[in-house]
Amino acid sequence: SSEPPRYGVTAPLSTALPTENEIACTHSLIEELKRQNNYESAAETNKRTVVLQSLQAIAEEFVKQVCRAQGKSERVANAAGAKICTYGSFRLGVFGPGSDIDTLVVAPENVKKDDYFKYFPDLLTKMAPKGSITDVTLVPDAFVPIIKFEYSGISIDLIFASIHLEQVPRDLSLQGQDMLRGLDEAGVRSLNGTRVTDEILALVPQTGVFRTALRGVKLWAQRRAIYANIMGFPGGVAWAMMVARICQLYPKAAASTIVLKFFRLMEKWQWPMPVLLKAIEPGESLLKQWNPKLYHQDRFHLMPIITPAFPCMCATHNITQSTKLVIQRELKRGGDITDKIMSGKLSWKELFVKNTFFAKDYKYYLSVIASSTSEESQLIWSGAVESKVRFLCGYLDSHPSIAIACPFNKGFERQHKCHTDEEIEKAKTCLDYQVKDSSAENTEPKEQHSNVVETNGHEEVKPKQEESLTEKVTTVYTTTYYVGLELEEGAKSLDLSFEVDKFKGRCIMWDKYDQDLMALNVVHTKNCDLPDDVFTEGEVKPSRSSKKKT
Ligand code: 3AT
Ligand code: MN
Ligand code: MN
């Protein structure tokens, strides 16, 4: 007998073929995705292929050079080899015009991380066409050590792994636990980006259907501001696994049906039952895998979505009570809209309507403002604070007066030109961005503060002003993360100082924190006091209520 291959940990829910209407809805979904600029042209994609071929040649040369430097024979150096693998949206086949290429260099065991950071950057600029490599940034001490750069205008994230083989053939497969032998945690993490994406693709019945549905889901999640692992939402890999699971349950369905079922099943999912693409198999090595029966910390995962490659891990451990609620609310909205799309009452563009996080969803916000007086320190400081905002949200979730504490999924960068100490202090809380008006109605044109330079969105950063001889101009760089607050009914006190102090303490515990350069302020902001730059064109900023404060 020729049974069809079965995907997933349970039998499918339906093996029905798509109806004509479902196929038509899939076509209109693809049309809408095209209108939304979600696909890039064939010429652009060809450029990516050329860049990857070049990186493969550079990686091989890199390994050769290291072998020679180690005194190995020319024969050994030539046979050592290297392999360029990809992960992320490029590997999944859901990349758009602005996507980077997430790339991994696999090298034989004698080539180490230090060699990578010592040799690779120079070789890159030497071997790539002149002028095509720009903005090279080395991050050797990151969670996943990485070299970032632009190659012919394409952003590249390049990570590195050294495996236990003497030779790395171009057709090497990274599947199987054997590949992880002898690796430390960092090595495993570097390899697993590719291992996980490869597994996901292997575990869905129809790759094309999966990709189209995932494009729709990713665009929806981005527009609804519920896409960002670091802030406590699912990231790209987690959304991909959710969609993949739906594809397993409806192995013959069209993409439009997958999108609808995705909303309906994920909204009603019996959390904390995990989303699994395959059974978690015991490992041969000592590497820890997700296991709430064994590990206490795994029991706190509110929406566990588990990666399919050994060691299986939870991709959504950052999700909080509030982000879970907001995600479920959005899933409901998505399902309701998609229902109407499938019955011809709405079109797909309705699904992709921008969120109303600032324009409507909350009356009160916390502004978490990381500031610094140098651009370089601001880059690392804002990153450190960003990675902690979800903890603040977690503390707030436990506050009796707070029903929801939901972070916006990205920060807002601003620059402030300050002439006095007083102005510097104001800038650190972005008060110079707030438009003060005493009138009850907020209808007159907004005054622009002269010392404000907008850096958000597509506006260009103005060049630094010349310092005049008589006055010293200090530029304060700020990055603001917003947390929307929904109060419990009848809540009276809103003293959040305990939670805020705990959060601040956690941020400044960071070993690179420098109190002379960096500051962190958390301030209450009412919806009508939100700075203009958080609103996009066509959005109406909430106005002051007609009741005047006395
Ligand atoms: P784009 O099309 O690039 O926007 P993507 O899904 O490829 O979407 P990223 O390039 O940001 O998204 O991330 C690709 C993978 O890299 C996802 C995750 O496994 C890993 N990754 C991203 N950021 C981090 C990080 N800060 N720390 C560890 N891993 C990360
Ligand atoms: Mn990417
Ligand atoms: Mn990336």
C-alpha 224/C-alpha 208 separation (Å) is: 24
Q: What order of strands is seen across the sheet that includes strand 101-107?
A: 83-87, 101-107, 154-162, 146-151, 133-139
Assigned token pair, 487: 């109060």
237 labeled binding residue = yes
* Cβ atoms 116, 105 nearer than 8 A: yes
Between 255-267 and 207-223, two packed helices, what is the crossing angle to 10 degrees? 50
ipTM, 2 dp: 0.96
Ligand nearest to the CA of 229: 1
Backbone φ and ψ for 157, nearest 5 degrees, come out as -105, 115
Residue located nearest, by CA, to atom 26 of ligand 1: 230
C-alpha 367/C-alpha 429 separation (Å) is: 8
pLDDT of residue 178: 86
Residue located nearest, by CA, to atom 1 of ligand 1: 99
Cα(447) to ligand 1 centroid in Å equals 39
Terminus-to-terminus CA distance in the chain, angstroms? 82
C-alpha 30/C-alpha 198 separation (Å) is: 24
Q: Pick the atom of ligand 1 nearest to 144's CA.
A: 28
Write the DSSP assignment of 316-350 as a string of letters: TTT--HHHHHHHHHHHHHHHHHHHHHHTTSS-GGG
Write the DSSP assignment of 371-411 as a string of letters: EESSHHHHHHHHHHHHTTHHHHHHHHHTSTTEEEEEE-SS-
Write the DSSP assignment of 60-71 as a string of letters: HHHHHHHHHHTT
pLDDT of residue 2: 61
Q: Which residues line ion ligand 2, judged by CB < 5 Å?
A: 88-89, 100, 102
C-alpha 428/C-alpha 244 separation (Å) is: 44
Cα(103) to ligand 2 centroid in Å equals 9
Residue located nearest, by CA, to atom 30 of ligand 1: 144
Ligand 1 binding pocket (C-beta < 6 A) is 87-89, 95, 99-100, 102, 143-144, 193, 235-237
Ligand nearest to the CA of 236: 1
Q: Which amino acid is at 66?
A: V
Q: Whole-prediction pTM value?
A: 0.92
Assigned token pair, 350: 């309705």
The count of C-alpha atoms lying within 13 angstroms of the C-alpha of 6, restricted to the half-sphere facing its C-beta, is 10
Ligand nearest to the CA of 231: 1
227 labeled binding residue = yes
* Cβ atoms 418, 503 nearer than 8 A: no
Q: Pick the atom of ligand 1 nearest to 99's CA.
A: 2
Specify the 3-state DSSP secondary structure of 148: strand
pLDDT of residue 300: 96
218 labeled binding residue = yes
| Residue 135 CB neighbours (<10 A) | 10
Q: So which residues are the catalytic ones?
A: 89, 100, 102, 157, 218, 227
In order along its 550 residues, the chain shows pLDDT tens digits of: 566 678 999 999 999 999 999 999 999 999 999 999 999 999 999 999 999 999 999 999 999 999 999 999 999 999 999 999 999 999 999 999 999 999 999 999 999 999 999 999 999 999 999 999 999 999 998 889 999 999 999 999 999 999 999 999 999 999 988 889 889 888 999 999 999 999 999 999 999 999 999 999 999 999 999 999 999 999 999 999 999 999 999 999 999 999 999 999 999 999 999 999 999 988 878 889 999 999 999 999 999 999 999 999 999 999 999 999 999 999 999 999 999 999 999 999 999 999 999 999 999 999 999 999 999 999 999 999 999 999 999 999 999 999 999 999 999 999 999 999 999 999 999 988 876 544 434 444 434 443 444 444 444 444 455 555 567 899 999 999 999 999 999 887 789 999 999 999 999 999 999 999 999 999 999 999 999 999 998 898 898 875 544 4
* Cβ atoms 393, 323 nearer than 8 A: yes
Cα(500) to ligand 1 centroid in Å equals 29
From 515, 479, 485, select the one nearest 500 (Cα to Cα): 485
C-alpha 44/C-alpha 51 separation (Å) is: 11
Cα(135) to ligand 2 centroid in Å equals 17
Assigned token pair, 261: 């079922």
From 356, 318, 315, select the one nearest 225 (Cα to Cα): 356
Residue 357 DSSP symbol: I
Assigned token pair, 382: 């804002």
Assigned token pair, 208: 């094309």
Assigned token pair, 41: 């042209």
Q: Pick the atom of ligand 1 nearest to 90's CA.
A: 7
Mutate which of 100, 223, 242 to test ligand 1's pocket (most atoms within 8 Å of Cβ)? 100
Assigned token pair, 137: 């940034």
Cα(8) to ligand 1 centroid in Å equals 25
Residue located nearest, by CA, to atom 4 of ligand 1: 99
Q: Which domains does the chain have, with CATH numbers?
A: 20-35+203-350 (1.10.1410.10), 42-196 (3.30.460.10), 357-436+449-459+467-534 (3.30.70.590)
